[in-house]
Structure 1
Amino acid sequence: MDLQCAVQKYAWGKLGNSSLVARLAEANSKAIINKEDPYAELWIGTHPSGPSVVSSTGKPLLNHLQHHAESLGEAERQAFGIDLPFLFKALSVAKALSIQAHPNKEHAEKLFATRPDLYKDPNHKPEMVTAWSGPFEALCGFRPIKDIAFFMQEIHELAGIVGAAACEDLANAAQSGQHEALALRNCFTALMNSSDESVASALKDFEQRIPSLSPEKRDRLMCDLFMRISSDFPGDVGCWSVYFLNFVTLQEGESMFLGPNVPHAYISGDCLECMACSDNVVRAGLTPKFKDIDTLCSMLDYAPGSVDRFRMHWTKEDEFCEISSPPVPDFAMGRIHLPASSTVSYQLPVRSSASILLVLDGHGTGTTNDGEVELAFGKVLFLKANQQMALKTQQDRNLVIYQAFSNV
Structure 2
Amino acid sequence: MAELRVFPLSCPVQKYAWGKIGLDSEVAKLLASSDPLVQIAPDQPYAELWMGAHPKGDAIILDNRIPQKTLGQWIADNPGCLGSKVKDTFQGQLPFLFKVLSVNMALSIQAHPNKDLAGKLHAQFPDHYPDANHKPEMAIALTPFQGMCGFRPVQEIVAFLQNVPEFRVLIGDVAAEQLERSVNDDPRGVSAALRICFTRMMKSEKKFFVDQLNLLVKRISQEAAEGKDTSDSNGELLLQLHSQFPGDIGCFAIYFLNVVRLNPGEAMFLGANEPHAYLYGDCIECMACSDNTVRAGLTPKFIDVLTLCEMLNYTPASSSAKIFPAIQSQLDPCVYLYDPPVPDFAVMRIQIPSIKLYLISAVDSASILLVIQGTAVGTSTGATSEMTLRRGSVFFISANESISLQVSSPDGMLLFRACCLL
Q: TM-score under structure 1 normalisation?
A: 0.96
Displacement of 1:217 in angstroms is: 4.9
Residue 159 of structure 2 is matched in structure 1 by 150
| Structure-1 separation of matches of 2:409 and 2:391 | 13
Q: 2: CA distance between counterparts of 1:216 and 1:302?
A: 33
> Residue 207 of structure 1 corresponds to which residue in structure 2?
217
Q: Does 1:107 align with 2:117?
A: yes
**Hey, what's the Cα distance between the residues in 2 that align with 1:195 and 1:208?**
20
1:397 maps to which residue?
411
- Structure 2 residue 58 is matched with structure 1 residue 51: yes
Q: Does the Cα contact within 8 Å between 1:5 and 1:28 map onto a contact in 2?
A: no
Q: Map of 1:11-90 to 2, 5 A cutoff? A: 11-28=17-34, 30-56=37-63, 57-90=67-100
Aligned equivalents of 2:25, 2:176: Cα separation in 1:
42
* 1:324 aligned onto 2:372: no
Amino acid at match of 2:303: K
SS at match of 1:335: strand
Instruction: Write the distance in 2 (CA, Å) between the matches of 1:24 and 1:83.
Output: 27
Give the equivalent residue in structure 2 for 1:241.
253
Once the two structures are TM-superposed, the CA of residue 65 in structure 1 deviates from its matched residue by 0.8
In structure 2, what is the equivalent of residue 368 of structure 1? 380
- Give CA deviations for 1:340-381 in whole Å, capped at 9, x if unaligned: x313x2111210111000001111121101132001011000
Structure 1 residues 82-138: Cα deviation after superposition (integer angstroms, max 9, x where no partner): 111000000000011000000001111111111111112111011111000x21000
In structure 2, distance between residues paired with 1:197 and 1:32: 46
Pick aligned residue for 1:386 from 387, 400, 407: 400
Return the match for 1:335 from 349, 353, 358.
Answer: 349
The letter for the 1-side match of 2:26 is L
Match of 1:121 in 2: 131
- Runs of 5+ in structure 2 lacking a partner? 1-6
Given the alignment of the two structures, is residue 294 of structure 1 paired with residue 306 of structure 2, yes or no?
yes
Query: TM-score, structure 2 length as denominator?
Result: 0.93
Query: Which whole-Å deviations, capped at 9, do the CAs of 1:312-345 have from their partners, x for residues lacking one?
Result: 2222221322212111110001111112x313x2
The SS at the match of 2:300 is coil
Task: Provide Cα deviations, 1:239-268, integer angstroms capped at 9, x if missing partner.
Answer: 011110001110000011110000000000
Structure 1 gaps, min length 5: none
Counterpart for residue 3 of structure 2: none
CA drift at 1:216: 7.0
Deviations 1:131-183 (A, max 9, x none): 00x21000000000111011011111111111121111111112434611111
Q: Which residue of 2 aligns with 1:166?
A: 175
Higher mean C-alpha deviation, range 295-304 or range 387-396: 387-396
1:169-180 maps to which residues of 2 (within 5 A)?
169-177=178-186, 179-180=189-190
Tell me, yes or no, if the aligned pair for 1:5 and 1:25 is still in contact at 8 Å.
no
Q: Deviations over 1:252-301 (max 9, x none)?
A: 00011110000000000000001101121110000111111111111111
- CA shift, 1:75, in A, is 0.7
What CA RMSD, in Å, does the superposition of the two structures yield over aligned residues? 1.5
Paired residues of 1:363 and 1:397 also in contact (CA < 8 A): no
Q: Distance in 1 between matches of 2:313 and 2:271?
A: 10
> Could you tell me which residue of structure 2 aligns to residue 265 of structure 1?
277
Hey, what's the Cα distance between the residues in 2 that align with 1:36 and 1:227? 24
SS in 1 for 2:230: helix
Q: Note if contact 2:34-2:390 (Cα within 8 Å) is conserved in structure 1.
A: no
Look up the match of 2:316: 304
Indicate if the aligned counterparts of 1:139 and 1:248 stay in contact, CA closer than 8 A. Answer: yes
Q: Which moved more, 1:201-210 or 1:100-109?
A: 201-210
- Are 2:359 and 1:352 aligned? no
Asked if structure 1 preserves the Cα contact closer than 8 Å seen for 2:364 and 2:421, the reply is no
Residue equivalent to 2:107: 97
Between the aligned partners of 1:28 and 1:97, the Cα distance in structure 2 is 27
| Aligned-partner SS, 1:252 | coil
Match of residue 8 from structure 2: 2
Q: Secondary structure at the match of 1:2?
A: strand
8 Å contact from structure 2 (residues 139, 286) kept in 1: yes
- Amino acid of the structure 1 residue aligned with 2:223: S
Q: How many matched pairs? A: 405
Structure 2 counterpart of 1:275: 287
What are the Cα deviations for residues 171-199 of structure 1, in whole angstroms up to 9, with x where unaligned? Answer: 11124346111111111111011122111
Equivalent position amino acid for 2:395 in 1: L
Alignment partner for residue 252 of structure 1, among 264, 289, 293?
264
